[in-house]
């Protein structure tokens, strides 16, 4: 079995980029094989540490298969003159085909042709040619150049390349680094020059030189190491954190767990601060009591080394943690000297956005918006009052030392300080959660007051930016306006607040860009519904009926998804589509929907039956608040609709009958398209 | 003072603060760096010194090491906080172009000051650097030693709005932190500066007095006037340079003096900021003014030293 080994040795790659880069490398490698017709039968696997991206392929052919190529040329009578001597055209073709004119043959179509064999090229040659591009093409979010501005770009400097096909070097070069057969070990636990001639030797060399090549192995080493370290503490458990786990797996080549402790007095700090210091800043796992879930005064660090026999690493980690907790205590005490309420004025000196003014301007606007949103959604006045207070204080934590040090705690600190300073629980909660939702599928603020504050914050940003014409285009969205708009939709829907998009747009005050803002919000609503798993035609049907209110649109979309699998639905949709087509050909739905219907002109039989069913159903649907039940009802019209089309000629000769019939159909269509526009449903 | 000293008696083999500085300078001197003394204008970071900011421009290789006192008025804590200083010392190494074994060289420098890397956890964690006021950015890491950030490692990509022809590595050692780590003390003020004196002995007055000045006493109106004067002088120089045609005049023109003016502006801006004296509407504009000056000087320098074509400053 043939084998190919590629290792790109790079200076420490940012941990969060590694998995994506590996996938991309694999994709580009396979694409290169594909292009050269070498992909078949090839299996690949990849692995990475912070310093190496490795790809191993098996089943590569030795080279491309030979190919027969047929080249056709001019007709015989053009290529040769009457005497049988080659003309200019004939000679030209012979030259192109690389043969003597006498070797040209004539095909059944009377044209000259030549068949020739194209020898396949050896795989090593193809790889040598395509690998530099495949490697340098790997996507990273922020590249650099290192040999100078004319040089190649990559995430960090490429320092070593191993490329071996069945033990032989595949020769190429990137930025002056020639591929070879030498890998390298861990910076302190291994040799820096390790000659290898096979995948097996490569893997062995790394494992003997301080490198766990497999991310799974490193992960396993961390989790079993942590479990072992915690055996000494009864009831202790690692506070799970997948993101931190992955970070540590890709920050180390030889992960070793180290357990440390800090003074219990620091547990008086809020958990949010302790966790931010440990997880985010120090990348240490927190330890909790398995039964109560409370934080304990221990932590788990992961070193990139084989051990800590003298406890140096543990002591260092403990000291750093102590210093940071000390800072946090210092900040808390300093911040307490000036309550949030006394910081509102200070916000005049904190810029929100150059053209939109200060954070003081922002909270003033937010308070107005929270009141309007509360009124629009029919929220209790006590809750609106809490939201008003929360909005007023919401940004004051930006002036605290703690948020200066831990910007990721903005909002959270405001909530904690508000609570400590005697604001009501409702106000404190609303401040605490007002940056939510953090992204797709993230939780929204848990209280109504918090939702109003979060909505007003996002709406103020959106309105202001649109007013300035700073509208996201393509992938450019520097102010994260898509996320803000998506957050608004999520809060309205999941928080069950019935506020319409037009109301939002009016409140947002986007000036001349109001309609762009409306489109932007509808677009996010469409995206949200898609993320909920609705099919695109269902979303079209819902939004074509009405895009006025996100909460309502979500309910209607759910109803369609529920009713769609039932027996009549799709056929009825086909019937409705037919009705719409007829009406559009006849001049448009709107034209007829406005006309007066004359019941006496309806024919007996199928038309009358459909009308009677329509009349009955209309009352049911109007009194029905359950969209799914209404849709079920409408779907039950199917037999009458089918019968109608079987028996009745819509475009009757008699103009009065025809007009009346079209009017009936337009009204039926209009009446039953308020939940969803059925004609948007794709019928297979 | 004496009683306190006796508690802190350190073993003889422990490196003092000044030992560490001398050893690091010696280490890098042996590797070809020009050893210079600090720039005598207030700066917020060693990067702003001409030895870095101007030397990284253009095609000429350069290697330098220097200790730069770095003043950050807003970070002052009256000498009360064990880790935060108004003026801290950065040991700045510039290697242009960055050698292939730059990381190994850096690791050996740690071993040169007695850190046994086989006993300590050493990691490079992504940390990119950007200075809007200097029109400069780079990518790199923060160097973490047992969880403590001891060095900023940056591959410069752009400076003064100019793409760099040779990519330099900039190593910025935080000397106080590094020494506190090596001496195993929790407060920078407990660092042994030499065998007799602590950091507190040498620097406490600076920390307290400058905190008082920056937060309480600085005459805001006067600092604004100073800012305007330095900006005016800097801009005047750049404008004068941009009018020159005669190569001899261009070659002798005092752009370094114009750079000093930029640094003055930057420092005065920091004082005003610490004082809370810069209003919302002013802030962005003031940063832009400093940036214009920095970019103007960098581009003029490119013309003067490296014959770059004249450009309209951004």
pLDDT digits (tens, 9 = 90+) for A571-587: 788 888 888 888 888 88
pLDDT digits (tens, 9 = 90+) for A85-109: 888 888 888 888 778 877 777 888 8
Two structure tokens written together for A61: 């052919």
Kind and range of the H or E element at A5? strand A3-10
Least confident of A57-71, A483-497, B50-64: A57-71
Residue A629 pLDDT grade (very low, low, confident, very high; cuts 50, 70, 90)? confident
State CA A472 to chain mean position distance.
17
Whether B128 has a pLDDT exceeding 80, the answer reads yes
Residue of A nearest to B155 (CA): A146
Task: Tell me, yes or no, if A345 comes closer than 8 A to chain B by beta carbon.
Answer: no
* DSSP designation for A276: I
CA B171 to chain centre: 10
Percent with pLDDT over 70 in chain A: 100
Average pLDDT over chain A, rounded to whole? 92
At B310, the pLDDT band (50, 70, 90 cuts) reads low
Integer Cα distance of A352 and B169 in angstroms:
35
Chain A residues lying within 8 Å of B155, measured CB to CB: 144, 146, 157
* Token pair in block for residue A665: 């159909």
A186-199 per-position pLDDT tens digit: 999 999 999 999 99
Residues 6 or more apart from A291 whose CB is under 8 A from it? A235
| Mean pLDDT along residues B167-194 | 95
The DSSP string of A16-79 is GGHHHHHHHHHHHHHHHHHHTT--TT-EEEEEEETTEEEEEEE---SBPPPEEEEEEEEEHHHH
Among B103, B111, B126, which would you mutate to test the A interface (most chain A Cβ atoms within 10 Å of its Cβ)?
B126
Token couple for A245 = 């786990």
Neighbours of A375 (CB within 10 A): 13
- A571, with CB counted inside 10 A (0-12, 13-18, 19+), is middle
pLDDT for residue B98: 96
Nearest residue of A to residue B182, measured between CA atoms: A316
Coil, strand or helix at A472: coil
SS3 readout for B219-274: CHHHHHHHHHHHHHHHHHHHHHHHHCCCHHHHHHCCHHHHHHHHHHHHHHHHHHHH
The SS3 assignment for A359 reads helix
Nearest CA in chain B to A359: B280
Does residue A666 register a pLDDT over 50?
yes
Between the alpha carbon of residue A215 and those of residues A24, A30, A254, A373, the distances in Å are 17, 22, 10, 49
All domains of chain B in start order, with CATH = 2-214 (3.30.930.10), 219-306 (1.20.58.180)
Which residues have a Cβ under 8 Å from the Cβ of B202 and sit 6 or more positions away?
B193
Task: Sort out which chain A residues have CB atoms less than 8 A from B189's CB and list them.
Answer: none
Cβ–Cβ below 8 Å for A357 and B280: yes
- Contact yes or no for A50 and B145 at CB 8 A: no
Instruction: Give residue A682's pLDDT.
Output: 84
pLDDT at B198 over 50: yes
According to DSSP, residue A278 is labeled I
Q: Is A161 left (phi over 0), alpha (psi -120 to 50) or beta?
A: beta
A87-101, A185-199, A461-475, B78-92: least confident range: A87-101
Q: What is the ipTM of this complex?
A: 0.90
**Class of residue B14 by CB neighbours under 10 A (exposed 0-12, middle 13-18, buried 19+):** middle
Dist CA A209 CA A52 (whole Å): 14
pLDDT at A473 over 70: yes
Q: For chain A, what percent of residues have pLDDT higher than 90?
A: 65
**To the nearest whole number, what is the mean pLDDT of chain B?**
90
Interface test with A, best of B96, B122, B124 (most A CBs within 10 A): B124
DSSP string, chain B: -HHHHHHT---TTSPPHHHHHHHHHHHHHHTTPEE-PPPSS--SSGGGSHHHHTTTSSS--EEEEEEEEEE-GGG--TT--SS--SEEEEEEEEEESPPTTHHHHHHHHHHHTT--TTSS-EEEEE--EEEGGGTEEEEEEEEEETTEEEEEEEEEEEETTEE-SSPPEEEEEEHHHHHHHHHT-SSGGG-BSSSS-BHHHHHHHHHHHHHHIIIII--HHHHHHHHHHHHHHHHHHHHHHHH---HHHHHH--HHHHHHHHHHHHHHHHHHHHTT---HHHHHHHHHHHHHHHHHHHHHHHHHHH-PPP----
Give the strand pairing for B148-159 and B162-163. Answer: antiparallel
B contact test, residue of A13, A14, A314, A322 with most B CBs within 10 A: A14
Cross-chain residue pair B280–A358, CB shorter than 8 Å: yes
Contact list in B for residue A258 (CB cut-off 8 A) is: 121
Does the distance separating the beta carbons of A12 and B117 come in below 8 Å? no
Chain-centre distance for alpha carbon A205: 39
Task: Say which range, A112-116, A119-123, A254-258, A530-534, has the weakest mean pLDDT.
Answer: A112-116
> Does A566-680 match A343-531 at the fold level?
no
A157 touches chain B (CB under 8 A): yes
Q: Find out if CATH 1.10.3210 is the number for domain A343-531.
A: yes
Mean of pLDDT values over A242-247: 95
Segment among A318-327, A345-354, A416-425 with least mean pLDDT: A345-354
Q: CB of B50 within 8 A of CB of B301? A: no
Instruction: Report whether B303 contacts B296 (CB < 8 A).
Output: no
pLDDT band per the 50, 70, 90 thresholds, residue B135: confident
For residue A663, CA distances in Å to A129, A526, A577, A580, A666 come to: 70, 32, 16, 12, 5
Q: Residue B123: pLDDT above 60?
A: yes
Q: What is chain A's Cα-based Rg?
A: 35
The separation between the first and the last C-alpha atoms of chain A, rounded to the nearest angstrom, is 48
Q: Which two tokens stand for residue A246?
A: 């992955």
Question: What per-residue confidence (pLDDT) applies to B13?
Answer: 67
Query: Is 50 exceeded by the pLDDT of residue B5?
Result: no
Cβ atoms B66, B38 nearer than 8 A: yes
Of chain A residues 183-212, which have a CB less than 8 A from chain B?
187-188
H helix or E strand, kind and range, residue A221: helix A215-230
Grouping H, G, I as helix, E, B as strand and the rest as coil, residue A2 is coil
A63-66 long-range contacts (CB < 8 A, ≥24 apart) are A63/A120, A63/A121, A63/A122, A63/A123, A63/A125, A64/A36, A64/A37, A64/A38, A64/A120, A64/A121, A64/A123, A64/A126, A65/A37, A65/A120, A66/A117, A66/A118, A66/A119, A66/A120
- For residue A12, what is the nearest residue in chain B, using CA coordinates? B124
Q: What pLDDT is stored for residue B313 in this prediction?
A: 41
The string of pLDDT tens digits covering residues A126-145 is: 999 999 999 999 999 999 99
A291-305, A520-534, A587-601, B279-293: least confidently modelled range: B279-293
Paired tokens of B126: 């992504």
Beta carbons within 10 angstroms of residue A300's beta carbon? 24
List CB contacts (< 8 A) between B184 and chain A.
315, 319
Question: Within an 8 Å CB–CB cutoff, is residue A604 touching chain B?
Answer: no
Q: Could you tell me which residue, B178 or A598, shows the higher pLDDT?
A: B178
Contact B181 A357 (CB under 8 A): no
User: B10 falls in which pLDDT band (50, 70, 90)?
Assistant: very low
Rounded average pLDDT over A30-38: 95
Q: Which residues contact A454 (CB under 8 A, 6 or more apart)?
A: A433, A434, A435, A436, A444, A445, A487, A491
Taking the Cβ of residue B277 and every Cβ of chain A, the question of whether any pair is shorter than 8 Å is answered with no
Q: Which pairs with CB-CB distance under 8 Å and at least 24 residues apart come from A540-546?
A: A540/A677, A540/A680, A541/A676, A541/A677, A541/A678, A541/A679, A541/A680, A541/A681, A542/A675, A542/A676, A544/A673, A544/A676, A544/A677, A544/A680, A545/A673, A545/A674, A545/A675, A545/A676, A545/A677, A546/A674
Q: How close does chain B come to A477, measured CA to CA in Å?
A: 20
Tell me how far apart the alpha carbons of residues A362 and A364 are, in angstroms, rounded to a whole number.
Answer: 5
Please tell me if residue B166 touches chain A, with a CB cutoff of 8 Å: yes
Which residues in chain A have their CB less than 8 angstroms from residue B119's CB?
308-310, 312-313
pLDDT-derived band of residue A590, with 50, 70 and 90 as boundaries? confident
Q: Are A282 and A321 in contact (CB under 8 A)?
A: yes
DSSP A473: B
Has residue A7 got a pLDDT over 80? yes
Q: Is the pLDDT of residue B229 over 90?
A: yes
Chain B nearest-CA residue for A307 = B119
Could you tell me the sign of the dihedral formed by the alpha carbons of A11, A17, A19, A23, in that order?
Answer: negative
The domain locations on chain A are: 3-63+122-208, 67-118, 215-336, 343-531, 566-680
Task: Specify the residue for token string 């911040």.
Answer: A335
Minimum distance, in Å, between the CA of residue B244 and any CA atom of chain A: 29
CB distance B120–A320 less than 8 Å? no
DSSP at A180:
B
- Exposed (0-12), middle (13-18) or buried (19+): which is A69, by Cβ within 10 Å? exposed
Mutate one of A305, A327, A329 to test the B interface: name it (highest B CB count within 10 A): A305
Confidence at residue B160, expressed as pLDDT on a 0 to 100 scale: 86
Mutate which of A140, A218, A312 to disrupt the B interface (most B C-beta within 10 Å)? A312
The structure tokens listed for A519 are: 């489109």
| Averaged pLDDT, B22-26 | 98
- Has residue A311 got a pLDDT over 50? yes
What's the confidence (pLDDT) of residue A37? Answer: 93
Indicate the pLDDT class of residue B2, thresholds 50, 70 and 90. Answer: very low
For the domain with range A566-680, which CATH number is right: 1.10.3860, 1.10.730, 1.20.1050, 1.10.1760?
Answer: 1.10.730
Does A317 reach chain B within 8 Å, measured CB to CB?
yes
Question: Which residue in chain A is spatially nearest to B124 when comparing CA positions?
Answer: A12
Task: Check if the beta carbon of residue B187 is closer than 8 Å to that of residue B13.
Answer: no
Question: Which chain A residues are within 8 Å of B125, Cβ to Cβ?
Answer: 15, 251
* Mean pLDDT, range B68-89, rounded to an integer: 91
pLDDT at B1 over 50: no
3-state secondary structure of A452: helix
**CA pair distance A47, A18, nearest whole angstrom:** 10
| Per-residue pLDDT at A121 exceeds 70 | yes
Given this model, what pLDDT does residue A384 score?
Answer: 97
pLDDT computed for residue B41 by the predictor: 96
pLDDT at res. B165: 92
Q: How many Cβ pairs within 8 Å bridge chains A and B?
A: 115
Between CA A300 and CA A306, with CA A302 as vertex, the angle to 5 degrees is: 125
Is A316 in contact with B118 (Cβ distance < 8 A)? Answer: no
In terms of Cα–Cα distance, which of A388, A408, A386, A385 is closest to A398? A408
**Least Cα separation, residue A188 to chain B (angstroms):** 6
Which residue in the set A16, A305, A351 is minimally distant from B284, CB to CB?
A351
Q: Which of B86, B94, B105, B83 is nearest to B46 (CA)?
A: B94
The predicted model scores a pTM of 0.83
- Chain A residues near residue B138 by CB distance under 8 angstroms: 144
């Amino acid at each position: 079995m043939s084998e190919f080994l590629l290792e790109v040795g790079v200076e420490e790659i940012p941990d969060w980029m590694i998995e994506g880069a590996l996938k991309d490398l694999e994709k580009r490698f396979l694409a290169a094989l594909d292009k050269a017709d070498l992909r078949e039968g090839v299996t690949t696997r990849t692995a990475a540490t912070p310093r190496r991206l490795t790809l191993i392929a098996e089943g590569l052919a030795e080279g491309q298969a030979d190919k027969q190529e047929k080249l056709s040329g001019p007709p015989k009578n053009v290529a040769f003159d009457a005497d049988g001597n080659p003309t200019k055209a004939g000679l030209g073709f012979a030259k192109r085909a690389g043969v003597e004119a006498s070797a040209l043959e004539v095909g059944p179509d009377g044209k000259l042709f030549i068949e020739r064999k194209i020898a396949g090229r050896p795989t090593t040659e193809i790889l040598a040619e395509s690998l530099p591009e495949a490697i340098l093409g790997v996507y990273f979010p922020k590249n650099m150049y290192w040999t100078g501005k004319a040089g190649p770009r990559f995430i960090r400097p490429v320092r070593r390349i191993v490329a071996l096909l069945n033990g032989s070097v595949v020769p190429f070069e990137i930025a002056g680094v020639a591929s070879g057969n030498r890998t390298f070990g861990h910076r302190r636990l291994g040799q820096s020059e390790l000659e290898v001639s096979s995948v097996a030797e490569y893997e062995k060399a790394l494992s003997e030189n301080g490198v766990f090549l497999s991310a799974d192995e490193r992960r396993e080493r961390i989790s079993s190491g942590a479990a072992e370290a915690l055996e000494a503490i009864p009831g202790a458990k690692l506070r799970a954190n997948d993101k931190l786990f992955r970070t540590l797996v890709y920050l180390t080549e030889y992960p070793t767990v180290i357990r440390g402790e800090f003074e219990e007095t620091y547990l008086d700090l809020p958990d949010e601060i302790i966790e931010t210091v440990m997880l985010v800043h120090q990348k240490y796992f927190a330890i909790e009591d398995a039964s109560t879930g409370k934080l304990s005064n221990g932590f788990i660090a992961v070193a990139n080394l084989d051990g800590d026999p003298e406890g140096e690493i543990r002591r260092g980690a403990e000291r750093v943690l102590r210093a940071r907790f000390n800072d946090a205590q210092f900040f808390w005490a300093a911040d307490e000297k000036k309550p949030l309420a006394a910081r509102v004025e200070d916000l005049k000196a904190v810029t929100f956005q150059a053209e939109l003014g200060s954070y003081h301007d922002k909270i003033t606007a937010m308070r107005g918006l929270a009141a309007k949103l509360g009124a629009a959604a029919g929220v209790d006045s006590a809750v609106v009052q809490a939201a008003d207070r929360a909005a007023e204080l919401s940004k004051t934590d930006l002036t605290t030392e703690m948020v200066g040090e831990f910007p990721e705690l903005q909002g959270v600190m405001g909530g904690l300080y508000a609570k400590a300073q005697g604001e009501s629980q409702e106000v404190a909660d609303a401040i605490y959660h007002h940056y939510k939702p953090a992204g797709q599928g993230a939780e929204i603020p848990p209280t109504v007051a918090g939702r109003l504050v979060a909505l007003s914050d996002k709406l103020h940003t959106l309105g202001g930016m649109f007013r300035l014409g700073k509208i996201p285009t393509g992938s450019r969205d520097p102010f994260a306006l898509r996320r803000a708009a998506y957050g608004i939709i999520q809060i309205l829907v999941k928080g069950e607040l019935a506020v319409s998009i037009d109301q939002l747009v009016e409140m947002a005050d986007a000036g001349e860009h109001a309609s762009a803002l409306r489109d932007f919000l509808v677009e996010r609503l469409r995206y949200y519904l898609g993320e909920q798993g609705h099919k695109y035609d269902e979303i079209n049907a819902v939004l074509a009926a009405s895009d006025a209110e996100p909460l309502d649109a979500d309910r209607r979309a759910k109803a369609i998804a529920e009713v769609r699998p039932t027996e009549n639905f799709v056929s009825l949709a086909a019937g409705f589509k037919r009705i719409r087509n007829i009406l559009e050909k006849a001049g448009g739905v709107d034209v007829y929907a406005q006309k007066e219907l004359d019941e006496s002109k309806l024919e007996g039989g199928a038309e009358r039956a459909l009308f009677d069913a329509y009349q009955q159903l209309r009352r049911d649907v109007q009194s029905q608040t359950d969209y799914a039940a209404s849709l079920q009802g409408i779907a039950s019209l199917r037999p009458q609709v089918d019968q109608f089309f079987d028996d009745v000629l819509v475009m009757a000769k008699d103009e009065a009958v025809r007009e009346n019939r079209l009017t009936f159909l337009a009204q039926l269509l209009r009446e039953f398209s308020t939940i969803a526009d059925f004609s948007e449903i794709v019928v297979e | 003072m004496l009683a306190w000293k006796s508690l802190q008696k350190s073993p003889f083999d422990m490196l003092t603060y000044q030992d560490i500085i001398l050893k690091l300078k010696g280490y890098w001197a042996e590797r070809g760096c020009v050893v210079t003394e600090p720039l005598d204008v207030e700066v917020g970071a060693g990067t702003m010194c001409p030895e870095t900011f101007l030397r990284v421009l253009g095609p000429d290789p350069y290697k330098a090491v220097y200790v730069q006192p770095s003043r950050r008025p807003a970070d002052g804590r009256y000498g009360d906080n064990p880790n935060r200083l108004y003026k801290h010392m950065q040991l700045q190494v510039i290697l242009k172009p960055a050698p292939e074994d730059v990381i190994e060289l850096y690791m050996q420098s740690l071993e040169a000051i007695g850190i046994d890397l086989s006993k300590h956890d050493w990691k490079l964690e992504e940390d990119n650097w950007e200075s809007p006021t200097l029109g400069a950015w780079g990518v790199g890491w923060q160097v973490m030693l047992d969880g403590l950030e001891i060095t900023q490692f940056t591959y410069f990509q752009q400076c003064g709005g100019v793409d760099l022809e040779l990519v330099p590595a900039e190593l910025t050692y935080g000397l106080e932190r590094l020494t506190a780590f090596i001496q195993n003390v929790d407060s920078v003020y407990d660092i042994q500066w030499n065998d007799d004196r602590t950091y507190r002995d040498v620097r406490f007055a600076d920390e307290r007095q400058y905190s008082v000045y920056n937060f309480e006493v600085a005459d805001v109106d006067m600092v604004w006037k100073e800012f305007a004067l330095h900006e005016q002088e800097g801009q005047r120089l750049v404008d004068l340079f941009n009018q020159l045609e005669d190569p001899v005049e261009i070659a002798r023109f005092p752009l370094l003096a114009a750079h000093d003016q930029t640094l003055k502006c930057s420092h005065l801006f920091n004082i005003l900021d610490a004082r809370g004296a810069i209003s919302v509407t002013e802030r962005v504009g003031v940063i832009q003014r400093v940036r214009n000056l920095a970019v103007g000087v960098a581009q003029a320098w490119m013309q003067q030293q490296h014959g770059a074509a004249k450009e309209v400053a951004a």
